[in-house]
Amino acid sequence: MDFKALFMGLAFAFMWSSAFTSARMIVADAPPLYSLSLRFLISGLIGVALARMLGESWNLTRSQWRATIIFGICQNAAYLGLNFIAMQWIEASAAAIIASTLPLMVAAAGFLFMGDRLKPVAVAGLVAGFGGVILIMGARFGGGLDPVGVALCVLAAIALTIATLALRGASSGGNVMMVVGLQMLVGSVALIGPALAFETFEVHWTPRLILAFLYTTLVPGLAATWVWFMLVQRIGAVRGATFHFLNPFFGVAIAAALLGEGLGLIDVIGVAIIMAGILAVQLSKAPPRPI
């Protein structure tokens, strides 16, 4: 793995993990689904405009349209929508920890439902990773962690797991920024209906809300997605997914630094166990190096 790929992976992990903290700031002053739908609308229009400036085409391959629609609904609308709703009641660090189990859930679902074979190190990684989550959540439930918020985050992670498995083997075909922009627009359309039906558009305008919204729209929303697509094209999905093992660390650290969320010894131990589990699962999939 070259230095540029390493930098891209670290940047992606940091930007992706920071979204939970900025989302927590947003939902404190604005309705979650309206906020997310507007964020996707702005990100999508910017993404499509940049794609056209880069000379990218509207003519996507069939697999790209499939990726655009599935990810627009499952990742942007379901995964992020449920997480935004949940963070009205739970801390950003808890949401980040649950979301960080995605590589573990994908590996487990692939084994249970798609016939994937797991090496012993991968099985050990799955057990360790989910054990770390149970350790952290057990301690936090004792401190009053909201079970409804946790359930919504788990459902969100399941939705993204389904999308990830459904898109295995889809080809890239170029037009990366166009795909990024269009899937944002799909997410915006999918969320505006539930927002109109279930939310009241009541916003408390604060400098923190405005800055958090702009940051979420441009950095985790647009930049992180683009970096992820480019990283996967550069080093492949399996090696790229290894950087997900940093998400629990970054997610908890950013929430503690910017929101003052508590960070106990059990949290630190649990995060370390989750990171080790994710890394073990991902490394077990890596192809052997040529001799």
Count of all residues that appear for the chain in the document: 291
Sign of CA dihedral 150, 240, 287, 4: negative
Tally the C-alpha atoms within 13 A of residue 224's C-alpha that lie toward its C-beta: 21
Question: Residue 246: is its pLDDT beyond 60?
Answer: yes
Non-local (6+) Cβ contacts of 6 within 8 A are: none
**Tens of pLDDT along 6-52?**
899 899 989 989 999 999 999 999 999 999 999 999 999 998 999 99
Sign of CA dihedral 226, 229, 230, 232: positive
The separation between the first and the last C-alpha atoms of the chain, rounded to the nearest angstrom, is: 16
Report the mean per-residue pLDDT for the chain. 86
**Tens of pLDDT along 170-226?**
545 678 788 889 999 999 999 999 999 999 999 999 999 999 999 999 998 888 888
Question: Residue 288: is its pLDDT beyond 70?
Answer: no
Question: Residue 285: is its pLDDT beyond 70?
Answer: no
So what's the pLDDT on residue 228? 82
Phi/psi class of residue 236: alpha, beta or left (left: φ > 0; alpha: ψ in -120 to 50)? left
Helices (H), the chain: 3-27, 32-53, 62-71, 80-86, 92-99, 102-113, 120-142, 147-166, 176-198, 207-218, 224-235, 237-241, 247-259, 265-285
Interatomic CA distance for residues 196 and 194, integer angstroms: 5
- Strand, helix or coil for residue 143: coil
Question: Residue 122: is its pLDDT beyond 70?
Answer: yes
Q: Does 79 or 138 have the greater pLDDT score? A: 79
Token pair belonging to 30? 């604005």
Token pair belonging to 27? 């939902």
Residue 246 per-residue DSSP state: G
Question: Residue 162: is its pLDDT beyond 50?
Answer: yes
Interatomic CA distance for residues 35 and 87, integer angstroms: 13
Token pair belonging to 183? 């899937």
pTM of the model as a whole: 0.81
Helix axis angle for 120-142 and 92-99, nearest 10°, is 160
Interatomic CA distance for residues 176 and 51, integer angstroms: 8
So what's the pLDDT on residue 171? 47
Q: Comparing C-alpha atoms, which of 3, 12, 14, 9 is closest to residue 253? A: 14
CB 85 within 8 A of CB 152: yes
So what's the pLDDT on residue 291? 47
CB 267 within 8 A of CB 252: yes
Question: Residue 96: is its pLDDT beyond 70?
Answer: yes
So what's the pLDDT on residue 107? 83
Domain ranges within the chain, ordered by starting residue: 3-285
So what's the pLDDT on residue 190? 96
**pLDDT band at 275; cut points 50, 70, 90:** confident
Token pair belonging to 242? 């290894």
So what's the pLDDT on residue 172? 57
CB 175 within 8 A of CB 65: no
Cα distances (angstroms) measured from residue 34 to each of 101, 157, 248:
27, 21, 27
- CA dihedral 261→267→273→274, nearest 10 degrees, is -40
